[in-house]
Amino acid sequence: MAAINTLQQDNDTCRDLVAHIIDKAKQCGASAAEVGVNINKGLSVNVREGEVETLEHHNDRGLGVTVYFGQRKGSASTSDLNMNAVDGALQAACDIARFTAEDPCSGLADEALMARNIPDLELDHPWDITPLQAIELAQRSETVAREADARIVNTDGASLSSVRGSSVYGNSHGFIGAYNTTRHSLSCSVIGEQDGNMQRDYWYSVARDSKELETPEAVGGRAAERTLQRLGAVKLSTRQCPVIISADLARGLLGHFVSAISGGALYRQASFLLDYLGKRVFPEFVCIQEQPHLKRALGSAAFDSEGVATHSRDIVIDGVLQSYVLSSYSACRLGLETTGNAGGVHNLGITPGEQDLQGLIRAMNTGLLVTELIGHGVNTVTGDYSRGAAGFWVENGELAYPVEEITIAGNLKEMFMQIVAVANDVDRRGSIYSGSLLIEQMTIAGE
């Protein structure tokens, strides 16, 4: 892993490369250009039944260039940073631009919106870990899971990954921004059996700083616990009842909301929240914020993929939609201004309540706790939602028994409005944050 320490040198070289390509694009007749370069170096290991299955060193590179001839656009990319390959990508982009139709919204983001002050968000925490150490950590996690209970009969293995990356973006406004990031993760998955019934579950931990990862024992123990809890699962009869979506799945539910208020869906008129700006989309107690500058967070960024400075902002206040999620292109199509979200959202989260998950379960009293979702039955045009699910039936505020092979269904617009409470068990393993969500009523399709 010693070679990973050359990343800063790569970063400086990439800055020079970006500046060179932009200058050369102008020489080729482009009125504007933008370039992004990414370098990722790292290590990943997978073990199963105590033996090493794969051990990989990563050294991935990529460059993308976009040029504009007036309002005609051309893009090309290459994974080879050799100058001949880079020049070839630039020439290809220019050739494409010369033959594409004009688009009145095509072009760089407004120069005045570029990030000029880039704060240190503490996203770079290299982990000087050797392959042998990585193997040992993964083995420890799997061993704890396998030895947790005699009903753990097999394993899908454990994995450890440590990646450090450098990203440089520049455009012909004179903006060049660069930062290094790290991402470390540890996961484990095992299989349990009881009375001929087999179940699989997993757990994982991810962080910018390896010191903030859960211990191998904690990850393996949690994977075994989740697997054992699912043994003896049964089907439910079809019914309507309250539903709790666990925190790790609630993040996905909020992701559907983000998709519905994203510029691409809006200007194509393919969103169930079309024309909902300034209208109520959640109950009054719900507030949703984006906080791009949280230190060490997985979704933090000082600027988006167009160089636009990011800012903390309220997306939902008292249940009312305050803002969309826009890039400069989608903003232009809608007659609005970019929100600094080219490339996605940055630490978007729903404000948690005071109850933990157990408190939410007691408040629900009787209903379904969903811990796994299967399939992709979501229509973002109509909001119709139908997905396979597994979890636990709750009676008298306690988990009664595990359930599987059911479907939960509803409409996202109604589901959002029927959120009764948000737990404080916030899952921060991504760019969208949420605690577990209690929804007043959904349809459960079973036997």
Quick: pLDDT tens for 203-224.
Answer: 999 999 999 999 999 999 999 9
For residue range 115-174, what is the model confidence (pLDDT) as tens digits?
999 999 999 999 999 999 999 999 999 999 999 999 999 999 999 999 999 999 999 999
Average pLDDT over residues 246-267: 97
Residue 357 backbone dihedrals phi, psi, to 5 degrees: -60, -40
pLDDT value at position 11? 76
Rounded to 10 deg, the angle between the 131-146 and 216-230 helix axes is 30
Query: Can you tell me the distance from the alpha carbon of 183 to that of 187, in angstroms, rounded to the nearest whole number?
Result: 13
Residue whose C-alpha is closest to residue 172's, from 310, 65, 301, 328: 65
Give percent above pLDDT 70 in the chain: 98
Residue 3 has pLDDT above 80, yes or no: no
**DSSP per-residue string spanning 377-437:** -B-TTT-EEEEEEEEEEEETTEEEEEEEEEEEEEEHHHHHHTEEEE-S--B-SSSEEB--E
DSSP H or E segment with residue 181 = strand 176-194
Find residue 45's DSSP bridge partners: 55, 160
Q: How confident is the model at residue 7 (pLDDT cuts 50, 70, 90)?
A: low
For residue range 66-122, what is the model confidence (pLDDT) as tens digits?
999 999 999 999 999 999 999 999 999 999 999 999 999 999 999 999 999 999 999
pLDDT value at position 5? 44
Identify whether the C-beta of residue 202 lies closer than 8 Å to the C-beta of residue 233: no
Query: Can you tell me the distance from the alpha carbon of 337 to that of 358, in angstroms, rounded to the nearest whole number?
Result: 42
3-state secondary structure (DSSP) of residue 215: coil
Residue whose C-alpha is closest to residue 195's, from 226, 232, 236, 154: 232
As given in the structure block, the two tokens for residue 18 are 């970006």
For residue range 11-70, what is the model confidence (pLDDT) as tens digits?
788 899 999 999 999 999 999 999 999 999 999 999 999 999 999 999 999 999 999 999
pTM given for the model: 0.94
- All structural domains of the chain: 2-229 (3.30.2290.10), 239-445 (no CATH)
- Average pLDDT of the chain, as a whole number: 96
Residue 237 has pLDDT above 70, yes or no: yes
HSE-CB of 102 using CA atoms within 13 angstroms: 4
pLDDT value at position 10? 72
Query: Can you tell me the distance from the alpha carbon of 109 to that of 29, in angstroms, rounded to the nearest whole number?
Result: 20
Residue 411 has pLDDT above 70, yes or no: yes
Give percent above pLDDT 90 in the chain: 95
Q: Quick one: how many helices (H) and strands (E) in the chain?
A: 9, 17
Other beta carbons within 10 Å of 22: 24
Find residue 111's DSSP bridge partners: none
